């Protein structure tokens, strides 16, 4: 089964061809799984596709044969063909056969559901709370007391030391859906309730996905990046995130400017006056590769663009343009760039 899955995966990913250069984004094909649940789904999917494909082939063959064999010929004698009204045996046959197929498919489905929607968590699991906002993601690691946005870092899970990640999914506003195809199936993020999903990645790398439930204007740019790291890398990342924001003495003025603008009502930078909760935590902004949940690369130029008019990169974004002068924008950007 896995082989059939792999073949399909190769086919699909292969046609979408791109050499897997390091750093390049992979096509988020569901047939290129790198995590326990998505692998189980890919295998199961291959089985379902196999069964449906077989049914398709047989029935299409029947249709084509009937149409070709019984097409009216040019030399037709004009007489009506024999009229056949019904046959109970035949009806019975094509009722029972599908019932059997459905029965088998139903059992396999039930088994797969039970295997994937499981309640018990192995020793050493990591808890992350993901909160959907219009239109970005917030991530909390209760174990480590860190908060970040849009780019989720999770550790590799190895056979000898399993470390699957379990997500608690919550929403701040409307319904979203967390979907990183290579890591797991999607689960909706519903206000007023906490949903759960899990991932158990087996290969380090960057995996992309995005919000999969229509949630308003910028649903298309509610992108997700999940960085799967080895144990050590992950621990280092955690350690860095736990530190308060960099306080570069040479940027004290810039920092003061930032603290005087309304940014601080919506953003948090730990160790400063900024403790807003409405927008993404900026404490370690520069540890993220992208801005605005994936709409642009995170660099000084784009930051300036973003701060001056968020609408430019992400029309409709819930962050207002703050009406700063170009010079002020540059200085705020200078400060932000220091937030390693």
Partner 1 sequence: MAAIDGPAPGVAERARSRGWTETLHDWVATVDHKKLGLLYIGAGIVFFLIGGLEAAAMRWQLAFPDNDALAPDTFNRLFTMHGTTMVFLVGMPIITGFGNYLIPLMIGARDMAFPRLNAWGFWMFAFGGLLLYFSYFGSTGLYGAGSAPDVGWFAYAPLAGKAFSRGNATDYWILGILISGFGSLSGAINMIATAFTMRCKGMTLGRMPLLVWMMVVVSFLILIAMPPLTAAQVMLLFDRFLGARFFDTQAGGDAVLWQHFFWFFGHPEVYILMIPGFAYVSEIIPVFSRKVIFGYAAMVAATVAIGFLSFGVWAHHMFAVGMGKGLNIWFGAITMVVAVPTGIKLFNWIATLYGGKIRFRVPMLFCSAFLMQFLLAGLTGIMLASVPFDWQLSDSYFVVAHFHYVLIGGLLFTIFAAVYYWFPKMTGLMLSETLGRWHFWLFLLGFHLTFTTMHVQGLLGMPRRIYTYPADRGWEIWNLVSSLGVVFQAAGVVCFIAAIALAFRRRVPAGDDPWDAWTLEWSTSSPPPAYNFAERPEVRSRRPLWDQKHPDDPDWKYE
Q: Is the CB of residue 237 less than 8 Å from the CB of residue 229? A: yes
Q: Is the CB of residue 291 less than 8 Å from the CB of residue 306? A: yes
Q: Closer CB to ligand HEA, residue 92 or residue 102? A: 102
Q: Closer CB to partner 1, residue 13 or residue 264? A: 13
117 binds, among ligand HEA, partner 1, ligand HEC, none (CB under 5 to 8 A by kind): partner 1
Residue 315 binds ligand HEC, judged by CB under 6 A:
no
Q: How far is CA 208 from CA 105, 160, 180, 184, 226, in A?
A: 31, 27, 6, 11, 6
Binding mask 140-179 for partner 1 (x = CB under 8 A): -----------------------------x---xxx-x-x
Task: Say how many residues touch ligand HEC, by CB under 6 A.
Answer: 32
Stretch of residues binding ligand HEA (CB under 6 A), selected from 98-106, 131-139, 152-160, 271-279: 98-106
- Segment 28-67, which members bind ligand CUA (CB under 6 A)? none
Please give the structure tokens belonging to residue 215.
Answer: 């949630």
Cα separation, 89 vs 74, whole angstroms? 34
Name the nearest CA neighbour of 261 among 248, 252, 274, 280: 274
Please give the structure tokens belonging to residue 226.
Answer: 């999940």
Q: Closer CB to ligand CUA, residue 270 or residue 318? A: 318
Q: Assess whether the previous peptide bond of 135 is cis (omega < 30° from 0).
A: yes
- Segment 231-290, which members bind partner 1 (CB under 8 A)? none
Out of 101, 108, 238, 289, the residue judged to bind ligand HEA by CB under 6 A? 101
DSSP structural state of residue 78: -
Out of 211, 245, 291, 303, the residue judged to bind ligand CUA by CB under 6 A? 211
Q: Closer CB to ligand HEC, residue 48 or residue 289? A: 289
DSSP per-residue string spanning 29-63: -TTS--BHHHHHHHHHHHHHHHHHHHHHHHHHHHH
Out of 102, 214, 240, 340, the residue judged to bind ligand CUA by CB under 6 A? 214
215 binds, among ligand HEA, ligand CUA, ligand HEC, none (CB under 5 to 8 A by kind): ligand CUA
Out of 1, 2, 20, 98, the residue judged to bind partner 1 by CB under 8 A? 98
* Torsion angle of the four alpha carbons 334, 225, 19, 220, in this order, in degrees rounded to the nearest 10: -90
Residues that bind ligand HEA (CB under 6 A): 55, 59, 98, 101-102
């Amino acid at each position: 089964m896995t082989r059939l899955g792999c073949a399909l995966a190769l086919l699909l990913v292969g046609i979408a061809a791109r050499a897997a250069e390091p750093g390049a984004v992979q096509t988020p094909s569901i047939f290129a799984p790198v995590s326990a649940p998505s692998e189980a789904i890919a295998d199961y999917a291959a089985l379902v596709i196999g069964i449906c494909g077989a049914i398709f082939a047989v029935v299409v063959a029947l249709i084509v044969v009937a149409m070709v064999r019984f097409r009216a010929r040019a030399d037709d004698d004009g007489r009506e063909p024999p009229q056949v009204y019904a046959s109970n045996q035949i009806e019975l046959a094509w009722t029972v056969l599908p019932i059997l197929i459905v029965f088998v498919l139903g059992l396999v489905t039930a088994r797969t559901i039970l295997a994937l929607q499981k309640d018990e968590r192995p020793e050493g699991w990591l808890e992350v709370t993901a909160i959907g906002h219009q239109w970005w993601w917030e991530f909390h690691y209760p174990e480590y007391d860190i908060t970040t946005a849009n780019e989720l870092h999770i550790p590799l899970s190895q056979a000898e030391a399993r470390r699957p990640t379990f997500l608690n999914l919550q929403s701040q506003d409307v319904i979203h859906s967390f979907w990183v195809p290579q890591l797991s199936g999607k689960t909706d993020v519903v206000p007023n309730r906490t949903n759960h999903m899990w991932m158990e990645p087996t290969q380090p790398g960057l995996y992309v996905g995005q919000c999969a439930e229509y949630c308003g204007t910028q649903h298309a740019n509610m992108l997700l990046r999940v960085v799967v790291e080895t144990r050590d890398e992950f621990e280092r990342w955690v350690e860095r995130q736990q530190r308060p924001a960099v306080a570069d003495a040479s940027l004290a003025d810039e920092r003061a400017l930032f603290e005087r603008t309304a940014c601080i009502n919506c953003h948090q930078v730990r160790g400063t006056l900024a403790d807003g909760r409405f927008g993404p935590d900026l404490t370690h902004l520069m540890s993220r590769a992208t801005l605005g949940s994936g709409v642009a690369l995170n660099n000084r130029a784009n930051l300036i663009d973003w701060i001056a008019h968020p609408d430019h990169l992400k029309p409709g974004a819930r962050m207002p343009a703050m009406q700063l002068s170009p010079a002020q924008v540059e200085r705020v950007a200078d400060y932000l760039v220091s937030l390693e």
